[in-house]
């Protein structure tokens, strides 16, 4: 944990709403004039796209599984090393995973590959991570130990599957059978390495649909924000002034002493008014620490 060089991590599987969180943080950074170094979780995959296909096939031939959710498919040691190094010195190394042709033109590397490692520029105010493993912990590594603010973003599991099925079918052309096979292959890693992170998060945002998602494999549409509520759980509810939040967010209510529920359409707004003050406090503490 670092006062001089804070580390902020948003963890959650793709399609979970992490993009909404990322936009909320970017608005906060712009408003309070923060210069962050932005780290993408995919850049810590252990294999490039072609290598991962080979690793999956090899594991399957041996009766094993490998996925981007678990340690076999990721370099957790390098991620822990970056968080620790940045928290201690404000420096470290990063790279980018190139997803498509648009990113290839921007990064100068082929789709499905990584850019070379490079030093983090000097003068950044904080590290902002968005990906799958910002709060991961195994027998060998403890990434969560080096995070000053950990935010979990997760829909209920049926909604997560609906989002994955629709995205993989529409954007990647995968068949329903192939997508289900992927979900099954990743399930052990999801249970052991993704789910536990949300118990370590300082704040969780969980999207809950208000329509029937009982069979996600036949759902025709992804529930929209106005067909959802967002359950926000605070690890330390004493840090929040809930009467103010209830007054500021129309349609919100408390379901437990540490849990605020808001309409799905207010998710981004709720993130900004909840997370903004925490970032401002980090910057104040950073200034004080640097003056010592």
* Residue 113 included in any domain: yes
Q: So what's the pLDDT on residue 190?
A: 93
Which of 140, 132, 130, 159 is closest to 73 using CA atoms?
A: 132
Q: Going along 104-162, which residue ranges are E strands?
A: 118-119, 126-131, 149-155
* Residue 121 included in any domain: yes
The number of angstroms, rounded, from the C-alpha of 146 to the middle of its chain's C-alpha atoms is 16
282-285 long-range contacts, Cβ below 8 Å, gap at least 24? 282/6, 282/8, 282/126, 282/148, 282/149, 283/32, 283/34, 283/125, 285/3
Q: How many structural domains are present in the chain?
A: 1
* Residue 35 included in any domain: yes
* Residue 1 included in any domain: no
Residue ranges in 150-248 assigned as alpha helix (H): 157-172, 176-189, 197-200, 242-248
Which of 163, 153, 159, 254 is closest to 209 using CA atoms?
A: 159
Q: So what's the pLDDT on residue 21?
A: 79
* Residue 284 included in any domain: yes
Range of the domain at 236: 7-291
* Residue 2 included in any domain: no
Q: So what's the pLDDT on residue 90?
A: 95
Per-residue pLDDT in tens (0 to 9) along the chain, 292 residues: 678 999 999 998 755 566 677 789 999 999 999 999 999 999 999 999 999 999 999 999 999 999 999 999 999 999 999 999 999 999 999 999 999 999 999 999 999 999 999 999 999 999 999 999 999 999 999 999 999 999 999 888 888 888 888 777 766 667 777 888 888 888 999 999 999 999 999 999 999 999 999 998 887 788 888 999 999 999 998 888 999 999 999 999 999 999 999 999 999 999 999 999 999 999 999 999 988 7
Q: So what's the pLDDT on residue 169?
A: 73
CATH code for the domain of 240: 3.40.50.300
């Amino acid at each position: 944990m670092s006062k001089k060089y804070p580390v902020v991590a948003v963890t959650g599987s793709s399609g979970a709403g992490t993009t909404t969180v990322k936009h909320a943080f970017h608005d906060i950074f712009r408003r309070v004039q923060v210069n962050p170094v932005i780290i993408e979780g995919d850049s810590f995959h252990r294999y490039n796209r072609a290598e991962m296909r080979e690793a999956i096939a090899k594991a399957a031939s041996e009766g094993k599984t490998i996925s981007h959710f678990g340690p076999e498919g990721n370099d957790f040691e390098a991620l822990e090393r970056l968080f620790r190094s940045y928290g201690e010195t404000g420096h470290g190394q990063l790279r980018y995973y190139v997803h498509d042709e648009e990113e290839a033109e921007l990064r100068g590397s082929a789709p499905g590959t990584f850019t070379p490692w490079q030093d983090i520029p000097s003068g950044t105010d904080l590290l902002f991570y968005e990906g799958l493993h910002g709060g991961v912990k195994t027998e060998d590594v403890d990434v969560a130990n080096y995070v000053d603010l950990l935010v979990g973003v997760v829909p209920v599991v049926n909604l997560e599957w609906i989002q994955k099925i629709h995205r993989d079918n529409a954007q990647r052309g995968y068949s329903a059978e192939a997508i289900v096979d992927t979900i099954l292959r990743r399930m052990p890693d999801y249970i052991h390495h993704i789910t536990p992170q949300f118990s370590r998060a300082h704040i969780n945002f969980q999207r809950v649909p208000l329509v029937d998602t009982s069979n996600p494999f036949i759902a025709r549409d992804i529930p929209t924000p106005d067909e959802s509520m967002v359950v926000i759980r605070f690890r330390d509810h004493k840090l929040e002034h809930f009467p103010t939040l209830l007054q500021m967010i129309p349609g919100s209510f408390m379901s437990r002493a540490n849990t605020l529920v808001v309409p799905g359409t207010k998710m981004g707004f709720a993130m900004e008014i909840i997370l903004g003050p925490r970032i401002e406090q980090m910057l104040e503490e950073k200034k004080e620490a640097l003056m010592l």
